[in-house]
Amino acid sequence: LWGQAREELQKIVGADSFSTWIEPLRLTGVEDGTATIACPTRFLSDWVSRHYSDDILKVLDRMGGPVQRLSFETRSQTARQVAAPAVKCPAPRPAGEEELAAPLDSRFTFENFVVGKPNELAHAAARRVAEGGPVTFNPLFLYGGVGLGKTHLMHAIAREIQIRQPEARVLYLSAEQFMYRFVQALRDRTVMDFKELFRTVSVLMVDDVQFIAGKDSTQEEFFHTFNTLVDQGKQIVISADRAPGEIKDMEERIKSRLQCGLVVDLHPTDYELRLGILQSKTDSFRAQYPGLQIAPGVLEFLAHRITSNVRVLEGALQRLFAFASLMGREITLDMTQECLADILRANDRKVSIEEIQRKVAEHYNIRLADMIGPKRVRTVARPRQIAMYLSKQMTSRSLPEIGRRFGGRDHTTIMHGVKKIEELRSADRSLAEDIDLLRRLLEA
């Protein structure tokens, strides 16, 4: 039920709002007309109940019914960042090319694409293809993990070609849509029309081609379409979540054709790129939330801590801005940690407090047992405070939890230790360097 309801809700609220607000929710049960929804954080449940209750009620009532009330429960265990790509809703049956192509997202332009080391090659190749001229990279095959910008670049290419060559017939669609159309054509006995439509485009762009792996007749049809267009010197752009050679259940001859042009990958983001993207998104959000203040260090914190993919990073920022504007407050580090607790937890680097204690003890040449022991001499107490500080910074553990792992110390002791290091850190260069080094060692 929830799976279907989610699809419905996505159509109603749009992909962005969906991934920010609805996706983290779980339906845990329906009883006596009350549907219980589990939310990873209090903030999320407040927001959703305020803004999306009616939509959720309506959909649940229609699909599972009767549902008259929603009850939200906050359970930290339900935190799970699902990085599934947005499911595009199938468009109506093919009548002409306009209906065949998937709509382009107006935000996915080259101007809005932040370039860094991990994506510079893919970006350059995309630009080259978009600028037209003799078809040199054909096909262009872009691949990379979820949320790294494949779809963004594909839309940017399509848009740019359309601007430069208004007469060109650019057809962009997902492999899923390709299959859907093909199956529909088979059913309606309009395969000839289908072939005709595809084989008369100037540029064919197929997103997430891994989707048709294992779907034999669709693969076959795709292969023929592909060959016909390449033979006519038409540009083809393909994306997938992995390299052509690594797509399972795809015929060898198709894989080798896919590789015969230019294959470039989008690497996982690095810190600089994430920070650049956050800054750029912040600038564009400013128009939407005028007067919004962000404390220094917040974007850096996010770039450090949210490493999974750009979509998650964007969703986090959007939620944070909405929250801050709702509260009418400046975005601080504390607010960020509270508001994004679920996302931060899902992105935890899996550094454990024990590891931190071990590394710090090693570094300062003290015994591991002293980390949790009672000794108060400076040579032991200071490293212990550094370990507390790093535990707060690098894990999502609460102060009481950290306290327990430091020999059952009280949370105020931990807070005091963290504050102390924060103060010392800004005054003492060599301590700051020590901490950075330790952090890097732990992140490696």
**Other Cβ atoms within 10 Å of 31 Cβ, number:** 9
User: How far apart are CB 165 and Mg ion at their closest, in Å?
Assistant: 24
Find, among 381, 379, 298, 402, the residue nearest to 344 by Cα.
298
DSSP per-residue string spanning 389-406: HHHHHHS---HHHHHHHT
In terms of CB distance, is 60 or 277 closer to ligand ADP?
Answer: 277
The residue (of 309 and 395) whose beta carbon lies closer to Mg ion is 309
How many Å apart are CA 258 and CA 236, to the nearest integer?
A: 10
Among 102, 203, 209, 277, binds ligand ADP (CB under 6 A): 277
Q: Is 38 helix (H, G, I), strand (E, B) or coil?
A: strand
125 or 421: CB nearest ligand ADP: 125
Within 10 Å of residue 376's Cβ, how many Cβ atoms? 8
- Reference 178, options 151, 142, 217, 145; nearest CA is 217
**Residue closest to Mg ion (Cβ):** 151
**Shortest distance, CB of residue 208 to Mg ion, whole angstroms?**
6
Decide if residue 151 touches Mg ion (CB under 5 A).
yes
Work out whether 237 is an interface residue with ligand ADP (CB under 6 A).
no
Residue with Cβ nearer ligand ADP (299 or 402): 299
Pairwise CA distance, residues 110 & 120, whole Å: 12
Distance of CA 202 to the CA centre of its chain: 32
Residue nearer to Mg ion on the CB measure, 125 or 435: 125
17 or 336: whose CB is closer to Mg ion?
A: 17
Mask of contacts with ligand ADP, 31-70, x by CB under 6 A? ----------------------------------------
CB 203 to Mg ion: min, Å? 18
What is the nearest approach in angstroms of ligand ADP to the Cβ of residue 110? 10
- Residue with smaller CB distance to Mg ion, 153 or 197: 153
| Coarse DSSP helix, strand, coil percentages of the chain, rounded to the nearest 5 percent | 60, 10, 30
CB of 155 to ligand ADP, least distance (A): 8
Footprint on residues 149-178 left by ligand ADP (CB under 6 A): 149-152
Positions in 76-105 near ligand ADP (CB under 6 A): 85
Which amino acid, 152? Answer: H
> What tokens appear for 104 in the block?
């382009």
> Residues 130-149: x/- map of binding to ligand ADP (CB under 6 A)?
--------------x-xxxx
Residues within the annotated binding site for ATP?
A: 147, 149-151
The interface with ligand ADP within residues 102-131 (CB under 6 A) comprises 108, 112-114, 119
Selection from 253, 306, 262, 139 nearest residue 207 by Cα: 139
Binding to ligand ADP (CB under 6 A) within 300-319 occurs at 310-311, 314
Which amino acid does the sequence have at 136? T
- The residue sitting closest to ligand ADP, measured at its beta carbon, is 149
Q: CB of residue 126 vs ligand ADP: minimum separation in angstroms?
A: 11
What's the rounded Cα separation, in Å, for the pair 241 and 95?
30
User: Cα separations (Å) of 246 from 79, 213, 243, 252, 258?
Assistant: 31, 11, 5, 11, 12
Cα 309 from Cα 306, distance rounded (Å): 8
Nearest distance from C-beta of residue 388 to ligand ADP, angstroms: 35
Alpha helices, DSSP H only, in 148-215? 150-164, 175-188, 191-199
Question: Which are the contacts of 261, defined by CB distance < 8 A and separation ≥ 6?
Answer: 137, 138, 139, 140, 141, 236
Q: Does 20 bind ligand ADP (CB under 6 A)?
A: no
Residues of this chain that interact with ligand ADP (CB under 6 A) are 85, 108, 112-114, 119, 144, 146-152, 277, 310-311, 314
Residues of this chain that interact with Mg ion (CB under 5 A) are 150-151
